[in-house]
Structure 1
Amino acid sequence: MSTGTPERLGPFLVLERLGAGGMGTVYLAQSPGGRRVAVKTLPADQATESGARERFRREFEAARRISGFWIARRERRP
């Protein structure tokens, strides 16, 4: 993994950095159940900016309405 890439994001094991843009960084990660998923993070310098947080929240809400095998969902732990 490249320098600056976290080992974990929440319960997800980060495998590699896929890319970055104005709205954050996307990582290929593995869920606790073994599924490969994309995890997007908001840049730290934007975390306190209400406009950036609101855009990220809207993106998150839009993504929640999408379903399918390749969509990351929170997995229930035993």
Structure 2
Amino acid sequence: MTFTTGTKLGAYEILAPIGKGGMGEVWRARDTRLNREVAIKVLPDDFANDADRLRRFEQEALATSALNHPNI
């Protein structure tokens, strides 16, 4: 899926790109239900069928969800 500013993804509205790297692209978005800004990471299409890459992505998501700091 290709994102551009204004794209809707469920309850999220894509606002702007943040960056990209080997594991995908990160976008600034707005959660329209909670009215707050979030970051959304999008994996490359070829990762969808790679069990190891999906596992690494899930581990990364769990690790980052545990972070709690006022500057994040």
Q: Which whole-Å CA distance do the structure 2 matches of 1:24 and 1:68 have between them?
A: 24
SS in 2 for 1:37: strand
Q: Deviations over 1:41-64 (max 9, x none)?
A: 111111110111011010011112
Report 1:3-42 matches (<5 A).
4-6=2-4, 7-32=7-32, 33-42=34-43
Deviation, 1:70, is: 6.8
Cα-Cα RMSD:
1.8
Structure with greater strand percent: 2
Mark the runs of 5 or more structure 1 residues left unpaired by the alignment. Answer: 72-78
* Residue in 1 that maps onto 2:47: 46
Output the TM-score relative to the length of structure 1.
0.73
CA contact (8 A) 1:37 1:70 kept: no
Output the TM-score relative to the length of structure 2.
0.78
* Residue in 2 that maps onto 1:58: 59
Mark the runs of 5 or more structure 2 residues left unpaired by the alignment. Answer: none
Q: Percent identity?
A: 34
**After TM superposition, which residue ranges in structure 1, 4 or more long, deviate above 3 angstroms?**
68-71
